[in-house]
């Protein structure tokens, strides 16, 4: 048996066992449709907000998987500008953020456009606008010329996790890969997203940024699966949560003789969990939309509106008067008046299990 999958005589003719994940694929497609229907029912502005939040998370979390932490507000501003969404008070954005945002938005918003070599080179150049990865100069906007190893450990005690396809083979391997991407195959686009991700990672055609580009390719095919540029769930967020498993399954299947069933099954599980998390968030969002529709004629000041929205958005800890005052930058007395007013209007109520300090909960969600 070959050490790596690309050394197998059958490469790159992957095999898999449909029976092991067909039920899961059906569940994924069902939830995708359900989420799409729910989002169409909640109104344009709420959809825009959800899309902005999802794409922002996708950019931030995909970079975080690679150990690079981007400023959330900078990313959000960059995404909002490019989508023409008015969020007010836009934060300054640096070139590194803009490049990652450009790649993710090109993949998800222009999902119907073919993935060409030039497009991949453009994505890579956007990721590394200075021509450097950290302190190291790399080949940007072209395939690597050197050999590629994935290693960990201190200098002198490195552990080699993977040796990628030889540099001399990269152009040929990518030509075969891109030709496959362009074929109209009798294959669910979600499965194609899984295979494309794995195949690209195995080739590892660039000096750096391969993981982020692989995830962008996945996002493109997931958008094709839904026939929509509106993204309401983040695969990168879920992959970050399962980062250890992500690398473990890649390492396991890279040694197979061509059967990638385990990888496809893991990928579908990841999509499924991301969709379930989004479905739960949408349920909360629908409660929020319904609440504000019912409150349309009720006088509510800006501090109250701000805090009520916070309560719907996974408020951390208990709502007490001092926390209200701190978060809205008002006095304790003003905070207490705001709260008592909402209690009288039947919006908040005392939580009798609050302990020494009285805390409050939304009456409609208690």
Question: What is the model's pTM?
Answer: 0.83
Q: Tokens in use for 296?
A: 């349309």
Taking only the tens of pLDDT, the chain with its 366 residues reads: 568 999 999 999 999 999 999 999 999 999 999 998 888 877 777 788 888 889 999 999 999 999 899 988 889 999 998 988 877 666 666 777 899 999 999 999 999 999 999 999 999 999 999 898 888 899 999 999 999 888 777 677 777 888 999 999 999 999 999 999 999 989 999 999 999 999 999 999 999 999 999 999 999 999 999 999 988 889 999 999 999 999 999 999 999 999 999 999 999 999 999 999 988 878 777 788 788 888 989 999 999 999 998 888 767 788 999 999 999 999 999 999 999 999 999 999 987 665 567 888 888 554
Q: Tokens in use for 33?
A: 């449709």
- Segment 148-193, tens digit of pLDDT: 888 777 677 777 888 999 999 999 999 999 999 999 989 999 999 9
38 vs 50: CA distance, rounded Å: 12
Taking a C-beta distance cutoff of 8 angstroms, is the pair 96, 126 a contact? no
> Bridge-partner residues for 351, per DSSP?
359
User: Which structural domains are found in the chain, ordered by start?
Assistant: 5-287 (1.10.3290.10), 296-365 (1.10.10.10)
pLDDT of residue 88: 66
250 vs 37: CA distance, rounded Å: 34
160-167 contacts at long range (C-beta below 8 A, 24 or more positions apart)? 161/247, 161/251, 162/4, 162/204, 162/251, 162/254, 163/4, 164/202, 164/203, 164/204, 165/6, 165/202, 165/203, 165/204, 167/143
Q: How far is CA 264 from CA 51, 66, 110, in A?
A: 26, 22, 25
90 vs 217: CA distance, rounded Å: 29
16 vs 118: CA distance, rounded Å: 31
Residue 313: DSSP 8-state: T
Q: Is the dihedral of CA 259, 264, 266, 267 positive or negative?
A: positive
pLDDT of residue 1: 54
293 vs 271: CA distance, rounded Å: 32
Taking a C-beta distance cutoff of 8 angstroms, is the pair 195, 14 a contact? yes
Q: Residue 63's CB: how many other CB atoms inside 10 A?
A: 24
281 vs 232: CA distance, rounded Å: 10
Helix, strand, coil in percent for the chain, rounding step 5: 60, 5, 35
> Bridge-partner residues for 150, per DSSP?
162
Q: How far is CA 148 from CA 5, 30, 172, 212, in A?
A: 16, 40, 16, 16
């Amino acid at each position: 048996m070959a050490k790596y999958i690309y050394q197998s005589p059958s490469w790159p003719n992957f095999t898999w066992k449909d029976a092991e994940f067909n039920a899961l694929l059906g569940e994924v497609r069902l939830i995708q449709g359900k989420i799409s229907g729910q989002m169409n029912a909640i109104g344009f502005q709420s959809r825009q907000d959800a899309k902005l939040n999802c794409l922002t998370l996708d950019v931030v979390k995909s970079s975080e998987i690679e150990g690079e932490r981007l400023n959330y507000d900078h990313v959000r501003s960059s995404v909002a500008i490019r989508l023409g969404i008015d969020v007010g008070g836009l934060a300054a954005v640096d070139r590194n953020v803009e490049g990652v945002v450009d790649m993710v938005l090109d993949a998800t918003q222009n999902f119907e456009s073919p993935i060409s070599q030039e497009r991949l080179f453009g994505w890579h150049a956007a990721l590394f606008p200075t021509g450097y990865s950290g302190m190291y100069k790399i080949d940007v906007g072209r395939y690597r010329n050197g050999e590629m190893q994935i290693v960990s450990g201190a200098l002198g005690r490195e552990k080699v996790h993977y040796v990628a396809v030889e540099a001399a083979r990269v152009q040929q391997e990518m030509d075969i890969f891109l030709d496959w991407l362009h074929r109209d195959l009798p294959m669910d686009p979600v499965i194609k997203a899984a295979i494309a991700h794995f195949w690209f990672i195995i080739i590892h055609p660039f000096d750096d940024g391969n993981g982020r580009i692989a995830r962008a390719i996945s996002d493109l095919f997931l958008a094709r699966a839904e026939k929509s540029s509106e993204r309401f769930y983040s695969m990168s967020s879920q992959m970050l949560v399962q980062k250890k498993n992500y690398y473990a399954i890649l390492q396991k299947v890279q040694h197979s003789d061509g059967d990638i069933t385990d990888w496809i099954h893991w990928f579908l599980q990841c999509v499924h969990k991301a969709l379930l998390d989004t479905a739960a968030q949408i349920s909360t969002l629908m409660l929020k939309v319904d609440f504000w529709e019912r409150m349309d004629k009720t006088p509510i000041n800006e501090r109250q509106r701000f805090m009520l929205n916070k309560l719907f958005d996974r408020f951390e800890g208990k709502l007490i008067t001092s926390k209200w005052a701190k978060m809205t930058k008002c006095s304790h007395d003003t905070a207490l008046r705001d709260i008592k007013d909402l209690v009288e209007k039947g919006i908040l109520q005392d939580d009798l299990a609050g302990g020494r300090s009285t805390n409050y909960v939304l009456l409609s969600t208690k």
